[in-house]
C-alpha cells in the first residue's frame, strides 16, 4: 500500500512551500502565507451525481 498523497500547493495563496502541521493527520501549513489547513476525504459520489443542484448552484 502506498502513502497518502500530499498537496502540491496552498489552496489560499498557491505557494508550494508546504509542511505537515502538528495538528495531526491531513493538516498542513504554508510558510508563504502562514495559514494552516486540513485535507479530508469525504467519500465517493454516486454515479450520475456532480454535487450540484438542478439550478446549477453548488451544494
Reduced to 3 states, what is the DSSP secondary structure of residue 30? strand
Give the pLDDT score at 27. 94
| Separation of alpha carbons 45 and 50, rounded Å | 7
Global model pTM greater than 0.85: no
CA 26 → CA 10, 17, 18, 37, distances in Å? 13, 16, 12, 8
Identify which has the larger pLDDT, 34 or 6.
34
Amino acid at each position: 500500500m502506498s502513502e497518502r498523497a500530499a498537496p502540491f500547493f496552498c489552496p489560499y495563496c498557491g505557494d508550494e512551500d508546504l509542511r505537515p502541521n502538528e495538528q495531526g493527520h491531513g493538516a498542513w501549513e504554508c510558510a508563504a502565507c502562514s495559514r494552516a489547513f486540513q485535507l479530508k476525504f469525504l467519500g465517493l459520489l454516486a454515479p450520475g451525481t456532480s454535487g450540484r443542484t438542478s439550478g446549477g448552484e453548488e451544494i
